[in-house]
Amino acid sequence: MKIDRLVSMIMILLDKDRIGAQELADMFEVSPRTIYRDIDTINMSGIPVHSTSGVGGGFEIMRNYKLDKKVFSTADLSAILMGLSSLSNTVRGDELVNALAKVKSFIPAEKTKDIEIKANQIYIDLRPWMGNSNIQPYLEIIKTALQESRLLSFQYSAHHGNKTARIVEPYQLVLKNSHWYLQGYCYMRSDYRLFKLSRISNLQMQVETFIPRDYEKPILEFTDFLETIQTKIKIRVHKSVMDRVLDYCAYEQFAPDGDEHYIVDFPFIENDYYFDILLSFGNKCECLEPLHIRAEMKRKIHDIAVLYKN
């Protein structure tokens, strides 16, 4: 959120004598133009930021300026506390505890209760209900490796159960669709890779350090690409699995079929992942068309039946 970036920028400006626009842009992964707009916003809020051009130039808060606690509104402080509290549930660390303490110090005593109520109106818990117990300790190891530019080694289970030993320069932790990923430069592949944490085992932080390179940020948005390769198939589902089917398509794609069932235009790609989705609905889902997808479903169901026959 923009408010998080603005608060972080203010903290950085209070901590540093001077910092350049490009350095701030790289830090927050935005354009220099966005940084200039943010600086204007900070100035309009009453914090005097001075700009110096040329070699060694940059932004700095005017000397002897003291931050007025009233500069943040109740909504601002509630949003910041909400974000920091949610993050601290998943990624622990002294820096988050300190950040929370600093933000709370801006809260006037008479507004404390009101802000706490607003901050608790939305609760974001990124931790899974159940699953791999290694995720939390692995997050701590990776976070330390990121801060100290230390190499990581681990065993990785890729597609079809293939397991390989990897040594990686860590560059970014990514939370996507409730799953954690490590983005780094893999020495085995001589390229950047995105590793799902649940597929990592025996994670070790090495003594060796590395000189960070200009890393390539992972592509995390595939909506446009998926639309070019997805097709729509027709499935008939029982109302008891409707909530699960809604994880993959919109309610507008459902048409009632009697009192107990729906006909659904389901987005589909002909690969094992999507066939496994259909199979996960069990006998509450029937593929109606196209016929070749229906035939493949019958073959997979037959193979499962054979497996359990003996």
Q: Per the domain annotation, does 128 fall within a domain?
A: no
- Whether 298 maps to a domain, the answer reads yes
* Integer Cα distance of 183 and 168 in angstroms: 9
3-state SS of the chain: helix, strand, coil percent to 5? 45, 25, 25
Residue 29 lies in a domain: yes
Pair 234, 277 in one domain: yes
Q: What pLDDT is stored for residue 274 in this prediction?
A: 92
With H, G, I as helix, E, B as strand and everything else as coil, classify residue 64. Answer: coil
Final residue in a domain of this structure, among 39, 67, 95:
67
Domain count, the chain: 4
Token duo for residue 284: 């509450």
Residue 175 lies in a domain: yes
Angle at CA of residue 28, ends 27 and 29, nearest 5°: 95
Nearest to 198 by CA among 154, 166, 168: 154
Q: Do both 186 and 246 map to the same domain?
A: no
For residue 270, tell me if it sits in a domain: yes
- The answer to whether residue 214 is domain-embedded is no
CATH number of 168's domain: 2.30.30
How far is residue 196's CA from residue 110's CA, in Å, rounded to a whole number? 45
Looking at the structure, do residues 228 and 299 belong to the same domain, yes or no?
Answer: yes
Task: Mark whether 83 and 38 lie in a shared domain.
Answer: no
Does some domain include residue 106?
yes
The pLDDT score that the predictor gives to residue 221 is 65
- Structural domain including 267 reads 224-309
Q: Does residue 125 sit within a domain?
A: no
pTM above 0.85, yes or no: no
Q: Both 17 and 33 in a single domain?
A: yes
193 and 263 within one domain: no
Same-domain pairing of 196 and 237? no
Pair (41, 19) in one structural domain: yes
Do 199 and 232 share a domain, yes or no? no
Per the CB < 8 A criterion, the answer to whether 295 and 287 are in contact is no
Domain boundary among 29, 52, 67: 67
Write down the pLDDT at residue 202: 93
At 1 the pLDDT is 45
The residue ranges of the chain whose pLDDT is under 70 are 1-4, 15, 63-74, 77, 82-109, 119, 121-133, 160, 220-227
